A and B are shown apart, each in its own frame.
Chain A
Amino acid sequence: MTTQIMAQKKKKILVVEDEEPMLVILRDSLVEAGFAVVTAKNGEEGLAKAYQERPDLVLLDVVMPKMDGMTMMKKLRIDPWGKAVPIIFLTNLTADTATKNEVASKEPAQYLVKSDYTIDEVVNRVKVFLKNKKK
């Protein structure tokens, strides 16, 4: 693994995903890209970890047991810190208009369909999102 010494602290990413293999590859790729990664297996765990760890960005799956991604986002956005944290939805559900609108109304957020993107593209998106947010 390449260790990059950055002027700033490492960015922390929270990955919420119920599929184990998915979770592993995402974590590994992000770590490789120089991020700190915390994980959660469902929305409930995700919410707890989010408050606990205060990540710089959340990669959020939608279809999960116990609490799905949308619900978690809604709950998160109530929290004053949670309101501002960037979220990228990673899912295999084709977004319908209602969902897209919901996502749009709860900025900052994006919606990616996993099978449309390569893993590198996903990592890139994270980077870009964080960079823009800084601006």
Chain B
Amino acid sequence: MQKKQINYWAKVFLLAGIYGVAAKFGLSLAFFVPQATTIWPPTGIAIAALLLFGTDLIPGVFIGAFVVNAFTHEPFLTAIAIGIGNAFEAWLCVTLLRRFRFDIRFGEIRDVVAFLLFSLLACMVGAFIGTASLLASGLIVASEIGRTYLVWGAGDVMGALLVTPLFLAWFSPRARSQFLENKAESILATLLLCITTIGIFFYLPSTLSSMIKFLIFPFLLWGAFRLGNTTTTTMNLGVGVIATIATLRSVGPFVGSPLIEVNLLYSHLFVYVASGIGLLSAAAIGERDIGVERLVSTEKRLRALVEHSNDGVALVDKSGNILYVTVPTKTVLGYGEKEIVGRNIFELIYITDLTLVHNKFKWLVAHPGKSLTLQVRARHRKGQWVWIETTATNFLDDPAMNAVVINYHDVTDRRRSEEKLESYTKELERAVTRTAEEMARGEALLSSIGDGFIATDKAGKMIFMNPAAEQMLDLSVRESIGQPLTELLHLLDEEGNLVEKRDRPIQQALTEGKTISTIVGSKVYYYARADGEKLPVSITAAPVILNGEIIGAEEVFKDITRDRQIDRAKSEFVSLTSHQLRTPLSIVNWYTEALLKGKLGGFNKKQSQYLKQIYSANQRLVNTVNNLLSVSRLEMGTFPMDLAPIEIPVIITGVINGLSRQIKTKKLNIVRDFKMKFPTILLDRSLFTAIVENLISNAVKYTPDKGTIRVGLMHDARSATLVVEDTGYGIPKSEYSKVFDRFYRGSNVVEKNTDGNGLGLYIVKRLVESMGGSIGFVSEQDKGTIFKVTVPIATTNEIRHLPAHRSTTARQQMK
């Protein structure tokens, strides 16, 4: 604050000082009344100062005027009044100018006119205040008012006119630079003017000078037209001072009146007019110059824009002849200005587009002021076709243009990109539609399938559940999403124990990346529902792999309640049937056996025979029931396999022994083509026994008396093979394909032997295949048959890996 204040007051006092000095100088020219002078420079200084530095410097004017007047034998109050008057005068002028938006550069006619008017007005007011103060203080009398006023007013006006413009000019950078450009000329002109003026005013008789006084005008105009405000205002001041002094000395053109103030007035008038003309001319020239400057710079800018843009501009006449092109034409079309001007635009248009362009052009020419935009192909100078986008406007009627103006730029790349974009977009749309369809299908699938589907992320958190799963598990996706599946849903085993997280299928799929299923094997698992119920399920879980990384897991699970019910029903049926059928059979068996033993009394031969027939028939029935049960169990899939390490030679021996009676009766020759030492194989004992029994009993049955049956057993690393060879009736060639069919009996044996239900081989084949083995035969009618059964081996080594209880069972069974 301090600094600003000091600054301010410094300026104020500086102004006051300058004002005072100028005042003193002006007062020295006072001739009539010591306080009223002919030229009052301070007014000019005050106005200039306030215009240039602001009206807040007014106190400076007041102080300056007051101090000066205080020292010119005036009463204190008068000095104050005059001080106020001078300050007010300056303020008024400046305020009016400001309102008028006066430009201190003083370069326009409007500024000059405003200045002339407002300074005149302000000075009239100022003179009035001054005169009034003098009258009031008694320094003048009423009769002197007129003259005092005029002198005072004229003095202030001249002061304003000659001094203010001078300051404004020298403060304007433009005017200053104008002076600097024409330093020599300005000085020369000013000097010449002053010399001429002095010559006219001082060295010529008044009548001559009166006529030639207009000779100063050429110099003034020279300054105004060529040399700017600085010179003009200087010239004005020069003329003003010289004229005033001359008139005061009663020389020069203005000496007509005995009253010197009258002469002065005429002189002032002359100077006023001359200066005014000078200033106005200078302003006029200035305005023109500024206008030209602006035009030039605008032109430069436009030119630069046009030449450096990618757009070309061409002017064509109403027939399409090219009148003018801009520089970019070379880049876009390869033609230089000279090469293309005069040619017709239609020469350059692609044939296919020509008709369209023609029609559009015709329309445009018929509609002045309108414009249209087209994309056309034009031929480049080098021969290739480029796509250009053109905007043509009809300026034919515009006198400035007289042409159709065409703006154009190369859009070849853009078109290509657009085409590519379009095709990509179409492809994308197609792909999106396809994906959306697939997704919709997938979702529809998942929503509609009856099995439950759950998906988890890498961390095992549930991210999706289909409606079936929600319903089966009594869970809501919305509430459960994001939770770890193993915590959200518990899995129980058959005994109701919780299955640990690491043993759960979904966890194994996640960690090991394998597909795990609980369908295989007879273990049943339950999902523990939120409402406490247990849902028996079979689960298949698989990892979700993307780019070789496991990103999550999915599981599909099935409610097997019904399946289990069906299974149970099947098993129950089978067991019930077997029990109900077999009970009476075994009763008949045992009673007949007991009778035949003879311990309950003897029978005669015939009675024995009949009993034996009963027994034999019953046996057949037992066999048939057994076979039927086997078949139905095979069909129903309720054939459990109880794997144990078995010794095949032992089984074969047992079977042969069991058939010993028939063998003896038929006097058959049995060849045991195997060693008792044979690796133990992991098989289901009863099922394998059934196989062996079926094959050997068939051989026995279908070989005539005294025939040979060979039973062989071989093995290699991977499988064991059983061979049953006989010299029996054989199988007719035409029936080879039916051998393993249910109820098939060779046509050649049916008559010979009515015993047999035709199920044996069917069962054997099914059993063999369920063990992972295979069966085949070779036969020739009336010569014999060879049956071969191969089963895969699990050797002793593998047996060691069996869980403990299985080994126990094996030992148990071997007792």
Contacts and interface: CB of A to CB of B under 8 A. Distances in A.
Interface of A: 19, 21-22, 25-26, 28-29, 32, 63, 91-94, 96-97, 100-101, 104-105, 107, 113-115, 118-120, 132
A94, A101, A132: most-surrounded residue (chain B CB, <10 A):
A94
A19 B594 contact: no
A93 B629 CA distance: 11
Contacts of B582: 92, 113-115
B587 A25 contact: yes
**Which of B571, B578, B629, B805 has its CB near the most chain A CB atoms (within 10 A)?**
B578
28 contacts: A19-B587, A21-B591, A22-B590, A25-B590, A32-B599, A63-B579, A91-B579, A92-B581, A92-B582, A93-B578, A94-B575, A94-B633, A96-B640, A97-B522, A97-B641, A100-B642, A101-B809, A104-B812, A113-B582, A114-B583, A115-B585, A115-B589, A115-B625, A118-B589, A118-B590, A118-B593, A119-B594, A120-B597
A22 B587 contact: yes
Given A19-B583, A93-B575, A104-B812, A120 B642 contact: no
Contacts of B622: 115
A21 B587 contact: yes
Contact of A101 (B578, B589, B805): B805
Contacts of B338: none
Most buried by A among B585, B594, B599: B594
A116 to B, nearest CB: 8
Contacts of A118: 589-590, 593
Contacts of B585: 115
Contact of B579 (A32, A92, A119, A120): A92
B586 A114 contact: yes
A100 B594 CA distance: 29
Contacts of B594: 25, 28-29, 119
A104 B586 contact: no
Given A19-B583, A100-B642, A107 B590 contact: no
B626 interface: yes
A19 B580 CA distance: 11
Interface in B784-815: 805, 808-809, 812, 815
A105 B805 contact: yes
Chain B contact residues, majority secondary structure: helix
Interface in B599-654: 599, 622, 625-626, 629, 633, 638, 640-642
B104 interface: no
Given A32-B599, A104-B812, A115-B585, 18 more contacts: A19-B587, A21-B591, A22-B590, A25-B591, A26-B590, A63-B579, A91-B579, A92-B578, A92-B581, A96-B640, A97-B640, A97-B641, A114-B583, A115-B622, A115-B625, A118-B593, A119-B593, A120-B593
B109 interface: no
Interface in B640-673: 640-642
B574 interface: yes
Given A97-B642, A101-B805, A115 B586 contact: yes
Contacts of A101: 805, 809
Contacts of B641: 97
Most buried by A among B574, B583, B629, B808: B583
Contact of B815 (A21, A28, A132): A132
B808 A94 contact: no
B740 to A, nearest CB: 23
B106 to A, nearest CB: 121
A118 to B, nearest CB: 5
Contacts of B591: 21, 25
Given A22-B583, A92-B586, A115-B585, A100 B578 contact: no
Contacts of A119: 589-590, 593-594
Contacts of A97: 522, 640-642
Rank and list the top 10 A-B pairs by shortest CB-CB distance, nearest first.
Answer: A92-B582, A114-B586, A119-B590, A97-B640, A115-B582, A115-B586, A92-B579, A25-B590, A21-B587, A104-B809
Nearest to A32: B599
Contacts of B522: 97
B626 A115 contact: yes
Contacts of A91: 579
Nearest to A97: B640
Nearest to A29: B594
B699 to A, nearest CB: 21
B579 A104 contact: no
Contacts of B581: 92
A101 to B, nearest CB: 7
A115 B619 CA distance: 9
Contacts of A32: 599
A63 B809 CA distance: 23
A100 B587 CA distance: 24
B813 to A, nearest CB: 8
A105 B805 CA distance: 8
Contacts of B574: 94
A22 B809 contact: no
